[in-house]
Amino acid sequence: MKPFLHVSGLSVDYVAASREVVPALRNLHLEVSSGETVGILGESGSGKSSLALALLRLLPANAAITSGDVRYRDHDLLHIAADELRTIRGGEISLIFQEPALALNPVLPVGMQISDVLRAHRRNGNIQHRDETHSILREVGFDQPDRIASAYPHQLSGGQRQRVAIAQALVCRPSLLIADEPLSSLDTVTQAEVLGLLQKLREDLGLSILFITHDAGVLSSFAGRIAVMRKGEIVAQGDFHELCQTADVYVQELISPARMVSPAIPESTVQATHVPLLQVRNLSKRYTQTRIFSRKIKVQALEQVELSLSEQTIVALVGRSGSGKSTLARCIAGFEAPDSGEILLHGTPVQKMDKGSRQQVQLVFQDATTSLNPRFTAGQLIAEPLEIANWGRASERRERVLNLLKEVGLDSSVSNRLAAQFSGGQRQRLALARALALQPKLLILDEAFSGLDVPLQAQMVRLLLELQARHRLTYLYISHDLKFVSLFAQRVIVMQQGRIVEVATPQKLQESQHPETRALLEASQKLHTPGLQQVTP
């Protein structure tokens, strides 16, 4: 079958703030046929997102296509007029961006943003646009499309924003969908639902999909062909089973990643000798969503939540998108004020603690891109909390910044790069280094590793365990993947619709009969990458 997307000899360079030329793609060749799903698999920084942006000429100003050819049907995408390219974008070729928080306009309701795509490519009336918008929102898993359509991006969770971005890309029923990490912020149940939707569209409409991810488990049953990228080049191609047989070490690390190590400190031992580090008592939080020319909608984000964390433990908080996980994290970290209840740190209400004491709790946000100042270099971002706290001399702060970069897996030479010049996974590691700067006692990680490739996830878990042993840290790890957190958490809390519905050890949760826990377990099992398993030291 003749390919309708043909990429040949594509090369892309970025120019860093220091005028250093950073190659992103090198002489890349790729083909996608009608109705075919091609997976792009690679580690963070391998050039996956640069490929997606280059295909539609959406690269940032500091990037340039230095060579190559991109042809879609009879169109030369690198040289056609801007008006013709705008007709193709969104109508025939759609792109799901890696960071929906940046892709969505913060001052417009999300329903209007989806309808704008329809208005740009079709001449139907407003009522039909509204109906199609609500229909696509239902298809991607929203049971209240009217409420979601009237919400602004900041009123939605990270996973909900991701689903809105998917709806926006699919609403015109394109011929080719370029999906850049479309599932990274979604809970496993919704991941399975979205994959089912994409499969249905592929069958019904002959949709071709270029699916970019770091998760081999997703591609194992979804992509007919997988191209593995490394340092801007495709180093291997084939179906999942063919790649499993390759002797290439890099490919094997992505297909069957390194094993993780379980925590060395049993929770029961810590509880017997320490007062709880954190206590949350009867916490409730409600948001009011205002709609134009209509009544206000009350959204109960948290309802009578209670939990306790002992020192030097790892507790996982799991649940579907919109279950209240991030709201709880923001309340504990002091970014949101609860409507009722109390939060105690070492037995003292946090609202009565001084600024220095509150710095014992740090939060790594789900969307690293929006939490990092794009005008700051990596070094400035990590040094900023140290400067605010008047920590050490300038030379000591500089040394700590370089050490933190190394600890999270970034070379110290990148300290002068702007945040926008890092890949999504690299920005998440940068956010982790920033959170660790003030040596907190409690670190809350809100989907902190969802943007990382699986080998790096394993490395980061090892790093967290090393830091915990070295600095007596406590972790509240928020995730949608119950299977993943079961590898290293000592206790797992399951949330549903703002409530805690189950608390147990990972082993006991495997036998749980609670419907929500079973749904998360079964979906996670289907989507989990082969070869990722726990090893007892």
Question: DSSP character for 207?
Answer: -
Would you place residue 291 in the very low, low, confident or very high pLDDT band (cuts 50, 70, 90)?
low
Sequence-distant (6+) residues with CB within 8 A of 44 are: 214, 423, 424, 425, 426, 451, 452, 453, 456
On the question of pLDDT at 455 being above 80, the answer is: no
Would you place residue 234 in the very low, low, confident or very high pLDDT band (cuts 50, 70, 90)?
very high
The pLDDT of 473-500, averaged and rounded, is 89
Q: What are phi and psi of 136, to 5 degrees?
A: -70, -35
pLDDT digits (tens, 9 = 90+) for 386-440: 999 889 899 999 999 999 998 888 888 889 988 877 876 688 788 889 999 998 9
Higher local confidence (pLDDT), 36 or 192: 36
Q: What angle do CA 221, 224, 229 make, to 5 degrees?
A: 95
Question: DSSP character for 420?
Answer: G
Q: What is the C-alpha to C-alpha distance for residues 529 and 537, in angstroms, rounded to an integer?
A: 22
CA quadruple 194, 200, 204, 206: dihedral sign = positive
In sequence order, the β-bridge partners of residue 30 are: 7
Locate all alpha helices (DSSP H) within 125-266, ordered by sequence: 126-139, 145-149, 158-170, 188-205, 216-222, 240-244, 249-255
In sequence order, the β-bridge partners of residue 286 are: 300
Closest by CA to 415, choosing from 434, 401, 428, 425, is 401
Q: What is the C-alpha to C-alpha distance for residues 55 and 65, in angstroms, rounded to an integer?
A: 10
Question: DSSP character for 265?
Answer: S
Q: What is the C-alpha to C-alpha distance for residues 488 and 477, in angstroms, rounded to an integer?
A: 10
Domains and CATH numbers, the chain: 32-59+89-255 (3.40.50.300), 260-360+441-535 (3.40.50.300), 369-439 (no CATH)
pLDDT of res. 424: 67
Would you place residue 310 in the very low, low, confident or very high pLDDT band (cuts 50, 70, 90)?
very high
Highest mean pLDDT among 2-6, 15-19, 253-257: 2-6
pLDDT of res. 448: 78
On the question of pLDDT at 534 being above 50, the answer is: no
On the question of pLDDT at 528 being above 60, the answer is: no
pLDDT of res. 358: 79
Q: What is the pTM of this model?
A: 0.73
The pLDDT of 277-299, averaged and rounded, is 80
Do 515 and 341 form a contact (C-beta atoms < 8 A)?
Answer: no
Q: What is the C-alpha to C-alpha distance for residues 344 and 350, in angstroms, rounded to an integer?
A: 6
Would you place residue 194 in the very low, low, confident or very high pLDDT band (cuts 50, 70, 90)?
confident
Would you place residue 335 in the very low, low, confident or very high pLDDT band (cuts 50, 70, 90)?
confident
Q: What is the C-alpha to C-alpha distance for residues 319 and 322, in angstroms, rounded to an integer?
A: 8
Q: What is the C-alpha to C-alpha distance for residues 43 and 34, in angstroms, rounded to an integer?
A: 27
pLDDT of res. 112: 94
Q: Which residue has the tokens 């949101």?
A: 336
The pLDDT of 26-39, averaged and rounded, is 93
Closest by CA to 450, choosing from 429, 436, 468, is 429
Higher local confidence (pLDDT), 262 or 343: 343
Percent share of the chain, pLDDT over 90: 42
The sheet with strand 474-479 has its strands ordered as 361-364, 442-446, 474-479, 314-319, 491-496, 499-504
Question: DSSP character for 531?
Answer: T
Other Cβ atoms less than 10 A from the Cβ of 23: the count is 15
Closest by CA to 520, choosing from 319, 332, 385, is 319
pLDDT of res. 120: 87
Q: Which of 282-286, 322-326, 349-353 is predicted with the least confidence, judged by mean pLDDT?
A: 349-353
On the question of pLDDT at 257 being above 80, the answer is: no
Q: What is the C-alpha to C-alpha distance for residues 307 and 327, in angstroms, rounded to an integer?
A: 14
Other Cβ atoms less than 10 A from the Cβ of 235: the count is 15
pLDDT digits (tens, 9 = 90+) for 130-146: 999 999 999 888 888 99
pLDDT digits (tens, 9 = 90+) for 58-112: 998 889 999 999 999 889 999 999 989 989 998 899 999 877 777 899 999 999 9
Using a CB cutoff of 8 Å and minimum separation of 24, what contacts does 501-508 make? Answer: 503/307
Would you place residue 339 in the very low, low, confident or very high pLDDT band (cuts 50, 70, 90)?
very high
| DSSP characters over 51-63 | HHHHHTT---TTE
- Can you say how many angstroms the Cα of residue 61 is from the centroid of all Cα atoms in its chain? 24
